[in-house]
Amino acid sequence: MTLFTVARRGLFVSVLATATLAASGLAQADATLDKIEQRHRLAVGVVLSGGPFGAIDPATREPIGFSVDLARDLARQLGVAVDLVAVQPANRVQFLQQGKVDLLIANMEWTPERDKLLGHVPTPFYRVGGTAALAKDSPIKTWAELKGQPVCTSQGSSYTQALVDLGADLKAFKTSAESLLALRGNSCVAAVHDATLINPLLAKGGEWSGYRALAPELNPAPSVIWTRRGESDTQQRLDPFVKQWHRSGWLIEREQANHITPASPALVELRAKLQGEGA
Amino acid sequence: MSTVLHGLVGQLGQVGLDYSFLFDAYASSKLLEGALTTVWLCLFSMVGSLLVGMVLAAALTSGRYWLAWPARAFVEVTRNTPTLVQLYCAFLVLNMLINQSLGNANPMTPFAWVVLVISLHKGAFHAEALRAGIEAVPAVTLEAASSLALSRRQQLLQVQLPLALRFALPALVNNLIDLVKMTAVASAIAVNDITYASIMIWTQGDNVIELMILILAFYGLLSFGVNCMGRVLEARLRMPGYGH
């Protein structure tokens, strides 16, 4: 064996080693996880349209709410700073796909259509269904009776397909605020949004005392943390955090702290299930 | 037609633009309906805004204080506030008040509100363009008209406005092109125009870019059509030896 071949073999080995290292480096983290760790910042898209899930505190001008608590805790556990980006139902998917945010915790439930576009952290953190706010004296008692009736909702709502299937005459406004105003202006017979948005409003009474909610919930679906498609490393990294949130009862505590009523039975179920699986 | 469309979609598919949703019966009927609504919105608000503009311009140049002053106030308020805010104010506030007092007898649909708001908004701009035209009519022409014993109304309708229209035409066409693009605000109050139809489709799927390009092309064509009509009208109304 000549010196030359030895050197060549050495070179080959080192190239191979570098290649494997690089490959393992790639396998270590997908683009988003790399980006988060390099910048030491986590950009999370949240909906701050008011209500217990996300709002701006009128006193401090800081974002508050259930989604905001989750985003802050994820960043804390990752040891990075958090950038909260206000998104709207109509543009949140674009914010995520264009990389303006790393994750969405944006009142966005799992649906088969969204599952084709995006990826998500496997364990859901909540479960939300839709409900309709109706005038107390409205004759409508079931979802099927909404057929052919003007129904307000927001653009990008999770219930669009379900309402189209029901045969409702859908009127989708820019945000839920305009949709609810339109309901009060009698432009539609019902406004369909997340139960977590409608129920606290109706419970508050006041200007909403003339309205009631329609049961049972429409299309209850798990709320998940959305990532871009195929970012399995980010998902795997975050999944234990979500599981721990359930096991420790932290989510139930946050639900109470943010005054989300009625309390979600899904949180209790998920807690029992995950505690059963054991840590 | 259908084979041409299939071919075109195939070609676009090769450059990474997926227009296959055009073959989906639901999406394509939504888009067609939206396109038609946009065309109707344009036609109604064009006629409406021109009428409003004419009345306002007549009031502005009437020389009567009690007519000119309210018209001036209206033009200033309307010109200086955003159309979207006016539309929200009209539909979410005024409409609610009308509903509360009339109940279900409220004749105003969201479509009618959009036509009304755009007509009033663009009418204010038309009024200024027409005023410029009216004031550009030479004083000697008016003196000649009054020497022929034409009344003030006859002077306005038969001498001043026909001339003013010719002076103002380029500015009016400019306003009308802006009006075509302005109809997109209808989507904010859930009027099923082409923008709304596209939003409804892209919030359910992954075709924002394709739909954006499609509606840009649609608005572009529509504005271009208005532009061409304006040019034809300018050529038609041209008076030999007068300004050209």
User: Domain A31-125+224-277: which topology?
Assistant: D-Maltodextrin-Binding Protein; domain 2 (3.40.190)
Q: Is B97 exposed, middle or buried (0-12, 13-18, 19+ CB in 10 A)?
A: exposed
Averaged pLDDT, A94-99: 90
Tokens of A172: 């989708």
| Cβ distance of B206 and A178 shorter than 8 Å | no
Q: How confident is the model at residue A88 (pLDDT cuts 50, 70, 90)?
A: confident
Q: Which CATH superfamily is domain A129-220 in?
A: Periplasmic binding protein-like II (3.40.190.10)
Smallest CA–CA distance from B96 into chain A, residue = A185
Question: What are the structure tokens assigned to A76, written together?
Answer: 């804390």
Residue A277 amino acid letter: E
User: Cis ω on the peptide bond leading into residue A216 (within 30° of 0)?
Assistant: yes
Q: What is the pLDDT of residue A7?
A: 46
With beta carbons under 8 A apart, name residues in chain A contacting B210.
none
Closest to B102 measured CA to CA, from A133, A255, A185, A107: A185
CB-side exposure of A42: number of CA atoms within 13 Å?
Answer: 23
Kindly state the tokens that stand for A148: 């052919």
* Cα–Cα separations (whole angstroms), residue A133 to A146, A187, A208: 12, 13, 9
CA distance A101 to chain B (A): 17
**Which of A3-17, B36-50, B192-206 has the lowest average pLDDT?**
A3-17
Calpha distance A107→A105 (Å, rounded): 6
Segments making up each domain of chain A, as ranges: 31-125+224-277, 129-220
Question: Within a 10 A sphere around the Cβ of B220, how many other Cβ atoms?
Answer: 12
**A31-125+224-277 shares its CATH topology with A129-220:** yes
Structure tokens at B58: 């007549």
Give A38-61 pLDDT, tens digit per residue.
999 999 999 998 788 899 999 999
The reply to whether omega before B107 is within 30° of 0 (cis) is no
Chain B residues close to A185, C-beta within 8 Å: 91-92, 95-96, 99
**Rg of chain A in Å (alpha carbons):** 23
Those residues whose C-beta lies under 8 Å from the C-beta of residue B229, and which sit 6 or more positions away, are B173
Q: Output the pLDDT for position A150.
A: 92
What would the pLDDT profile of A223-232 be if each residue is shown by its tens digit? 999 999 989 9
**Over 70: is that where the pLDDT of B155 sits?**
yes
- Which of A141-155, A195-209, B92-106 is most confident? A141-155
Q: Which segments of chain B does DSSP mark as H helices, in order? A: 2-14, 25-60, 65-79, 83-88, 95-102, 110-136, 139-147, 152-154, 161-182, 194-202, 208-237
Please say if the pLDDT value at position A17 is more than 80.
no
Helix pair B65-79, B110-136: axis angle to 10 deg: 120
Strands A126-135 and A211-213: antiparallel
Q: Is the pLDDT of residue B47 over 90?
A: yes
Q: In chain A, pLDDT over 70 holds for what percent of residues?
A: 89
Q: CA of B106, closest CA in chain A: separation in Å?
A: 10
Distance CA B7, CA B23 (A): 12
Distance (Å, rounded) from C-alpha A159 to C-alpha A180? 15
What local confidence, expressed as pLDDT, does residue B115 receive? 97
* B11-22 pLDDT tens trace: 888 887 888 888
pLDDT digits (tens, 9 = 90+) for B87-134: 999 998 898 888 888 877 778 889 999 999 999 999 999 999 999 998
Residue B1 has a pLDDT of: 63
DSSP secondary structure code for residue A109 in this structure? B
CB contact under 8 A, A160 and B106: no
pTM over cut 0.90: no
Q: How many of the other CB atoms lie within 10 Å of CB of B240?
A: 5
Contact list, A113 vs chain B (CB under 8 Å):
204-205
User: Which two tokens mark B176?
Assistant: 């009308």
- Work out the pLDDT band at A5, boundaries 50, 70, 90: very low
Q: Does B92 sit within 8 Å of A178, measured CB to CB?
A: yes
Residues A272, A252 contacting (CB under 8 angstroms): no
State the average pLDDT over residues A230-239.
91
Instruction: Give the residue, A27 or B132, on which the prediction is more confident.
Output: B132
The CA distance from A193 to A131, in Å, is: 6
Pick B203's closest partner by Cβ from A116, A155, A187.
A155
Query: What CATH class has B30-235?
Result: mainly alpha
Domain boundaries, chain B: 30-235
Least confident of A89-103, A178-192, A235-249, A264-278: A264-278
